Amino acid sequence: MREFAYAGGMLATGLAEVTDDPAALETHGWWAVVVTYEGRVTCARFTDVRPAPHPDGPWRAPGAWTTSLDEDAYVQGVHRIRAAIADGVVYQANLCRVLTTALPSGADIAGLGARLRRGNPAPYAATLRLPGLAIASASPELYLSRDGDVVESRPIKGTGRTAADLLPKDRAENVMIVDLVRNDLGRVAAPGSVTVPELCGVEEHPGLVHLVSTVRARLDAGQGWPALLAATFPPGSVTGAPKSSALTLLAELEPVPRGPYCGAIGWVDADSGRGALAVGIRTFWAQDGLLRFGTGAGITWGSDPHREWRETELKAARLLEVASGDGAGQGLAQRRTARP
């Protein structure tokens, strides 16, 4: 199998075209979609789409990981964000780091996707191989779904090993991001149609729990995927509030691009007017002989810097264990990589 996409229980093969124009999602056919955090759009149309088991392939455990921010650098970044909050620049910002290792020889992204599906099932998981890029994602977070003119986002903010670990800070952060998502969707929604059917619900996932809210809206006449992406990207839960100020601050603090991590990954069926894009978290991507994985945490005034570092470790550990097959996800590498 060469190029393929697996998402929403559907296996797509027969790559027909690739474009960077999101307007293609309003035309015809079934599309795999990747938008990097930096805004690079890839839409790939496949001609053979069918319900099928997840494809499999050979996979080998990767070697040691390096991290774009070690613990000291990450803690300093948290202090910088708290200072920006004190100065009124931001209310919240999501500080991330990227782990990198050599892509094992002969490893197939389909094999990694199959491992994740067995070892860390996730509601918005996706695996795909496109020219120059391969992704295996176990995302638990919905960035945008669409069914006709009804759109929905389910931002995650608040993470712990159990519900007892969740703090008042986590709920406050979730409410903050819900307001941001409401405002984003309001730019393209019919007046008065933005609602919050669920606020701060507790969801269990392998090895941890999240606070998850649901924001729903009805698209205004004439609006579609290009307008939705323009109004809401990057996802609010992985940037901060206000979004523009958080993006500027994070660009100063994070030494490497996030790539597909914290972007959007999913599918769109233009013929039926349906689709679902996940936030690209819990996501591996292979490119240029390297395998990468991102992890991060939302920082507020109430954040404890070392606790936030441990949250990034918690989010990454199980996924790295699944990828290694031998529990090597414990104790992530501390060495800082150079800016590319």
200-228 residue pLDDT tens: 999 898 888 999 999 999 999 999 999 99
The residue segments making up the domain with residue 319 are: 4-324
What pLDDT does 325 receive? 80
Measured CA distances, 326 to 34, 132, 312, 330 (Å)? 30, 29, 20, 10
Q: How many domains does the chain have?
A: 1
CA angle 132, 314, 234 (to 5 degrees): 50
Q: Residue 314 has which token pair?
A: 């918690």
User: Longest Cα pair distance anywhere in the chain, in angstroms?
Assistant: 54
Strand (E) or helix (H) holding 180: helix 168-186
- Please check whether residue 50 lies inside any domain of the structure: yes
Calculate helix-pair angle for 305-324, 109-119, nearest 10 degrees: 110
Calculate helix-pair angle for 168-186, 225-232, nearest 10 degrees: 140
* Alpha-helix runs per DSSP H in 87-195: 109-119, 168-186
Q: What average pLDDT does this structure show over 139-149?
A: 97
| Bridge partners (DSSP) listed for residue 294 | 98
Between residues 332 and 323, the one the model is more confident about? 323
- Please check whether residue 46 lies inside any domain of the structure: yes
Q: CATH number, domain at 91?
A: 3.60.120.10
- Please check whether residue 336 lies inside any domain of the structure: no
Residues annotated as part of the active site: 141, 157
pLDDT in tens, 30-82: 999 999 999 999 999 999 999 999 999 999 999 999 999 999 999 999 999 99
- Please check whether residue 238 lies inside any domain of the structure: yes
What is the 8-class DSSP label of residue 261?
T
User: Predicted confidence band at 288 (pLDDT cuts at 50, 70, 90)?
Assistant: very high
Q: What average pLDDT does this structure show over 179-195?
A: 97
Strands 156-160 and 274-279: unpaired
What pLDDT does 1 receive? 63
- Please check whether residue 147 lies inside any domain of the structure: yes
What pLDDT does 106 receive? 93
Which amino acid is located at 278 in the chain?
A
Handedness of CA 114, 268, 198, 281 (dihedral sign): positive
Q: Residue 318 has which token pair?
A: 């199980």
What does residue 276 show for φ and ψ, rounded to 5 degrees? Answer: -150, 125
Position 198 pLDDT exceeds 70: yes
Q: What average pLDDT does this structure show over 302-307?
A: 95
Position 86 pLDDT exceeds 70: yes
Q: What average pLDDT does this structure show over 260-266?
A: 98
Cβ atoms within 10 Å of 273's Cβ, excluding its own: 14
Residues 6 or more apart whose CB falls under 8 angstroms from that of 184 comprise 231, 232, 236, 243
- Please check whether residue 332 lies inside any domain of the structure: no
What pLDDT does 174 receive? 92
How much is the mean pLDDT over the chain?
A: 93
- Please check whether residue 308 lies inside any domain of the structure: yes
- Please check whether residue 333 lies inside any domain of the structure: no
